[in-house]
Structure formats: structure tokens, C-alpha cells
Amino acid sequence: MKALAGAMLLGMVTLASAAHAGTTLVGGGATLPALGYGGDVTHRQITPVAGSLLAVYSAQTGNPQTSYCQTGSGAGKNILAGATVGTVVYNVQNACPDGAATPTGFGAPAVSRTDLTQPNFAGADSPLSLTDYSTYTTNRPSSKPIQFPAVAGAVAITFNKANVNSLALTDALVCKIFSGQISDWSDSQLVAAGVPAGVSGPINVVYRSDGSGTSFGFSNHLSSICGGTASLHFITDQSFAKVVSLYKPTIPTNWNGQSGNANVVNTVVGLDGAIGYAEAANVNNAAAQFATVNGFDPVADLSNKITISSSSVVYNSAINGADPTTGKAVVSAISPAPSTSCIALVQPSAYAIQSSGYPIVAVSYLLGNSNGNGTDAANVRTLLGAPYNSTITNAVTTIGNTSLNQTGLAFLNVDLTSSTYATNQARVNACVAN
């Protein structure tokens, strides 16, 4: 009887697991929008909480649960592609552990998706580059990557220095601090920013050590606003070491690299003399100090929706490095061009310098696969279209800026329609072929 009861119980558990398998969409990548997507960044792998974009999506009748692993944009794109880079194998089935190391997978087994051979979606603030596109098509020859802009996020300057209670930076000071031209808190140029006389000590820059869309967005602003010369300027890139390579061929020993926005913020909070850049939502969530830039607050002064002109969106194009004399991002057409227009890219120049409000902004994308989605295809379509679904976005509380809720994240007001696609969702639907 006991054996029979145990067998029945085991059978019930097996049936329950089988019923659960395939019911969760698995994704990950960018950490900049992670708080908005999942509502909780205390762990690398997020189970979305009420009010977050993914939780609101799942609450709609017929939609599945989701899981999001914070790997950073670079690793997220590699996991989407199923790439092997050097000795590192990226795969959706690899674990998504907490800690300083960048995960190489989205933790699919943790949500009973051992059946997946590719992620359902990915997030990236550094848009697809020509190299990313080539990596994807090499590893997934029967599919193409798809990419749609989803949200914008303010990149905040967070700091921690004893006796410095506020910091009012200008773009010029941001340029000098992150190029290393201002390297000590005693620099007289910081007096006007609110650093009291007598404060001193090295400025310990905390930066993203992983392939980061936050670094891409930050450097997109720096290369546009800081000027420089043909031989000495910031370079727009997802690698911060590349961003500052002309100023600092070797990263100073007191500069501190961290994987993910949350780790950058936590390091700044725990290190006197530190200053770093991170998504404003992460900074605000940790109750960390942050500077104003040009008099604007990264949390309060980001509009509820950021309008992107349709003329600023190009299709079947990707990032092709940076201009060698200015460091600004170069956008080139993908060749041979995909047969469909499913890679939508917001020209980096369109958001490099905000004409009003907080000046440093990154645009974050949702990515997916054109083919191989299997029984998840219909759900992938609705998920990738969620940022354009007003029923969903109006219920999200972790993205937006109202008198009651200031997150440092904003949905995009962007039109992807054409004579072929009457709505943004129609374009998404056509791009997720199967």
C-alpha cells in the first residue's frame, strides 16, 4: 500500500511537472530595464512581481508566466544566439546564479523549461551590431534575430563621498570625471558642484565590466557632448574599457569594474570616494545618492513617454563600430539584407543629447527569434508587443513618471507602422514567423 501510494505520488509530481513545462517564457539580458521588466533586482533571475511589465503581461488572460535573468546586454545577445565566445559557451539552459560573475545562461531549468533550445526573448540596451548579427546567423542559420525598441532609461551618476551630501554636475564635469581629467575630490572644479572645501581623496570610478547597454547609452552621450580631438575622445561602445581607451589605455587601479547595474550601485554605496553610472531605477531602488546633471534629476525629470520620430527608426541596419575621429556610433545596413524588416534600430544620435529634461538616456530593446519558437510562438508575439499595448502599459507601475511614481524609466512613443503593418503589434506578429 505504501509503495503504491509512493508510486501514485511520484506519478502526480511527474504529471504536475509535465503540466508546468512549457508554460513559462524564458528571457534575460539588459540590467538597465530589469527593475521595470521584473520589479525586483535582488536576484539575478527575476520572478516578476505585481506592477512590473512582465507581471502585468502575465496577468492578461491566456498569457504565460515569464522569467528574466540579468546578464547584461552583451551576454544576453550571446545567449540569444547560442554563441561560443572563446571558451565561454552561452546557452539558455545554463544557470543564472547571483554574484559578481556574469551568467552565461538564462536559467531555463529553474522554471522547468529544459525543453528550450533557444531563449524566448532577450533584452538589450546596446542594439544589435553587425558582429552580433553575424554571430546569431552563424549559430542559428535557420532563423534571424528580431529587435524592437521598448523603453528608455535615465543613466544616473551615483556617488558616495563622506561630507558630500549633494552633487550638481554639468556635462563638462561628467566628461572630465569619466575621462580621468578630474581624479580627486579636492579638484577646485568640483567646488561649484557642491563639494565642500577640505574634502579630498581619489575619485574611484565604478564602471560596468560586462558588455553593457548602460555603457553603450552612457558613452553615446559622452561621445556626442564631450568633444575632444581626433586622437582623444570617448568611443561609443558596450565595453567601458573601449569607451575610455583613448584616455586610459590601462584602467587605473582604483577604478572598479562590476557586472550589472545592481553590483555597480552596491559597490558605490559601500566604497567611500566612489562615483559610477547606473540605471536610475537601480540607484533609486537602493536609496543611493545620485547627482543632478545640468540641473536635472534622473528620476524625477524623465518624461512619462519619450517620443521617437519614425524618421529616427531604421530597419535592417546595425551598429558598425564608431567613427574613428569622433567616437560616435556608426550605423550600417545589414548585407545581405534580411527579407523582412524585423530589426528596428533607433538611431543613437536621436537620443544622445536630450533637448529637455535629464540629458543622459539609453534606449532598451526586446529581441527574439524569427523561427524556432514552436508552441511558444503566439505568446512570444504578444510579449514582444507588450510595450505597445496600452492595456498593459497603463497598468505598469515600475515604468513611468507620475506624481506618485517616479522610476527613471519611460515607455517609448514610437511608430513602427507602415503600408504593410497597420499596427506595431502587426509588425511583431509577422516577424515571429514560427
Q: C-alpha grid cell for residue 10?
A: 511520484
Whole-prediction pTM value? 0.89
The predicted-structure confidence for 220-268, as pLDDT tens digits, reads as follows 999 999 999 999 999 999 999 999 999 999 999 999 999 988 899 999 9
Q: C-alpha grid cell for residue 207?
A: 564602471
pLDDT at 19: 34
Residue given cell 549633494 in the structure block: 166
The predicted-structure confidence for 294-350, as pLDDT tens digits, reads as follows 999 998 887 667 888 889 999 999 999 999 999 999 999 999 999 999 999 999 999
Angstrom CA distances, 365 to 33, 125, 146, 343, 374, stand at 9, 6, 10, 10, 22
Contact (CB, 8 A) for 400 and 407:
yes
Q: End-to-end CA distance of the chain, in Å? A: 48
409-414/145-160 β-pairing: antiparallel
pLDDT at 8: 35
Q: C-alpha grid cell for residue 228?
A: 575632444
**Rounded Cα distance, 277 and 265, in Å:** 8
Residue type, 36: G
The whole-chain average pLDDT of the chain stands at: 91
**Rounded Cα distance, 228 and 324, in Å:** 12
**Rounded Cα distance, 245 and 249, in Å:** 5
pLDDT at 6: 39
pLDDT at 169 exceeding the cut of 80: yes
65-70/45-46 β-pairing: antiparallel
**Rounded Cα distance, 241 and 118, in Å:** 30
pLDDT category of residue 420 using cuts at 50, 70 and 90? very high
**Rounded Cα distance, 179 and 244, in Å:** 6
pLDDT at 124 exceeding the cut of 70: yes
pLDDT category of residue 356 using cuts at 50, 70 and 90? confident
pLDDT at 404 exceeding the cut of 70: no
pLDDT at 405: 61
pLDDT at 97: 95
pLDDT at 23: 87
Arithmetic mean of pLDDT, 149-162: 95
Report which of residues 250 and 357 the model is more confident about.
250
Residue given cell 580621468 in the structure block: 180
256-258/204-208 β-pairing: parallel
Burial of 68 (0-12, 13-18, 19+ CB in 10 A): buried
C-alpha closest to that of 388 among 413, 406, 367: 413
